[in-house]
Amino acid sequence: MIDWIANKLGFRRTRRDIKARFDAASNSPENREHWRYADGLAVNAAADPATRAVLRNRARHERFNNPFMAGQLRTLANDTIGVGPILQLITPNEIVNRAVERRWIEWARAVRLAAKLRLARITRACDGEVFIRLRTNPRLRCPVKLDLQLVEADQVTTPSLLPQLNRENVVDGIEFDEYDNPLWYYVLRQHPGDTGLWGTNPMEFTRIPADDIIHYFLTERPGQRRGIPECVSSLNITAERRNFRQSVLTAARAAASLGAAMLESEMDPDEDDVVAPFTSIPLEQGMLMALPHGAKASQMRPEQPSTNYGELDDRLIIEQARPLNMPRNIASGDSSRYNYASGRLDHQVYDRSNVVEQDDELVNTILTRVVSAWAIEATSIPGYLPGRAGQVYLPRENDPLWPVPCEWIWGERDHVDPSKQSSAQATRLKSRTTTYAREFARDRKDWRNEIEQSGREHEALDAAGLVSIDAQSTPRVLEVLRNVGTIGRDAAIELLTLMRISRPKAERMVSAALDAAVPGEEVPPRIRDRMVEQAVPGGNGDGHA
């Protein structure tokens, strides 16, 4: 009616505003009960020291009492870190590269770098964070005395003995500047949970500059200063799964222990032997029990475990490992329900998360700072590195932020089909979408050593007459020898070496072609006969010369 009158009078009604709503924001009784613990606290207020301590303690308890969680964390560290990354220096000077890389391997083995990185990865997943202190260890069996000390989150806290400290810029043991850069870390000299602190002050601390501390944790919200366990969302699930298993075992054990019950019907009902309600009666396994007068009992039915116990347990394991991006077969250590395709598909998601962790968190947070600190000390030792290394390519004392030109190569998961892996590798090398350095690094090998060793082996086989030219390469070799007078001796030798013919053999072939050249003939007869003889079946067939 109102719309009709407005149209007659020539008025247009304004468009009614649409008020959208979200079901999750409604205040129904169910929603209020479900989200009654939701709050609007800031990240550092929500993860205050007391809350983080509770989460850490519970996560550690589950780690050491839940075999699946312990195995998942150990597997995560092994898959992410492995035996440690390979340092490859990228400078124009190959001598410097080789020397620096050898010295780095020597130091990394002395400090057990890979083992400490694996422990740091486990600690971050379980405790939420770990601190790595760069310090000098005079007893280290290496000229470079730089060492890595892992510090638990419990030891980094704001000391209560400093009332004059400006606590507005301090978040539980970390002091920041106005640009949110860490300046100082307050580290307790003893772990607060150490039981051997009698007669000492547990609040004694050391104020360590930020340049000597690496804080390794996962940032979940903007402005977050301290880490919480990565498995925090699944802690209740791990506890519920263990409680559920214990309840099933208790019910099954009780049903199996009580064989039968006998009713005493001849007893005088006036006697004071009636059992009070809710009284516990101990059971003896394999015994026949007589119940009080008037009591009835039935045979316990062994209904545990129920038919869906295995399915529920499997789902709980999957949900427990989801925060770690870990698929079911890795989380449970069981691939019996997988086929090859589904296993590879699940591994791709898991491997991708590990690659992100390696190339971003580990390299940018830890390894870049460690290799810079190592290089500063290594270049200060006379004669330890080549002279040019300290002058141009590596950090200097007056410029610690000078970047080290390097790459980090991590090992990869082995393919279950070696033939497919080799074929894919050959395709990548042929299309130049990869390098020999990267392909050898996948197998934890130095490409320079492998190529030099391969060359020495082929020279030894060639000297013994055990290497022949395959039939596929014969036409190209003949073409080079046919035009050796035109292209020149040195150019012909280089072309033959590019065809994977060893240099000594190429020199002999070119010299023989020049010495036996007959005017009017394209290829010397004895050279052609020798090439055909080497190309016939019966050689080594490996395609190498």
What are the two backbone dihedrals, phi and then psi, of residue 28, each rounded to the nearest 5 degrees?
A: -70, 160
Whose CA is closest to 186, among 168, 197, 200, 172? 172
What are the two backbone dihedrals, phi and then psi, of residue 170, each rounded to the nearest 5 degrees?
A: -120, 130
Same domain? 430 vs 452: no
Same domain? 429 vs 476: no
Q: Which of 20-34, 73-87, 293-307, 313-327 has the lowest mean pLDDT?
A: 293-307
* pLDDT value at residue 420: 74
Same domain? 481 vs 429: no
Residue 350 forms part of a structural domain = yes
Cβ neighbors of 129 (< 8 A, separation 6 or more) are 123, 153, 215, 216, 217, 226, 227, 228
Residue 420 forms part of a structural domain = yes
| Averaged pLDDT, 517-532 | 52
Residue 458: enclosing H or E segment and its boundaries? Answer: helix 447-463
> How many separate domains does the chain show?
2
Measured between alpha carbons, how far is 203 from 191 in angstroms, rounded to an integer?
Answer: 9
Which is more confidently placed, 52 or 431? 52
Residue at a domain's end among 435, 455, 472: 435
Residue at a domain's end among 435, 470, 485: 435
Question: What proportion of the chain, given as a percentage, has pLDDT over 90?
Answer: 21
Residue 496 forms part of a structural domain = yes
* pLDDT value at residue 29: 84
Which is more confidently placed, 164 or 36? 36
Residue 130 has pLDDT above 90, yes or no: yes
Cis peptide before 305 (omega within 30 of 0): yes
Which is more confidently placed, 157 or 480? 157
Residue range(s) defining the domain that contains residue 488 = 447-535
What are the two backbone dihedrals, phi and then psi, of residue 184, each rounded to the nearest 5 degrees?
A: -140, 150
Whose CA is closest to 110, among 63, 70, 60, 144? 144
DSSP string for 226-263? S---TTGGGHHHHHHHHHHHHHHHHHHHHHHH--EEEE
Residue 406 forms part of a structural domain = yes
Q: What is the pLDDT of residues 436-448, one digit of tens each?
A: 777 777 776 777 7
* Other beta carbons less than 10 A from residue 135's beta carbon: 13
Which pair of tokens denotes residue 170? 């301090």
The DSSP 8-state label assigned to residue 128 in this structure reads: S
The DSSP 8-state label assigned to residue 299 in this structure reads: P
Given pLDDT bands bounded at 50, 70 and 90, which one contains residue 278? Answer: low
**pTM of the full predicted structure?**
0.73
Residue 388 forms part of a structural domain = yes
Same domain? 344 vs 378: yes
Which pair of tokens denotes residue 267? 């007893």
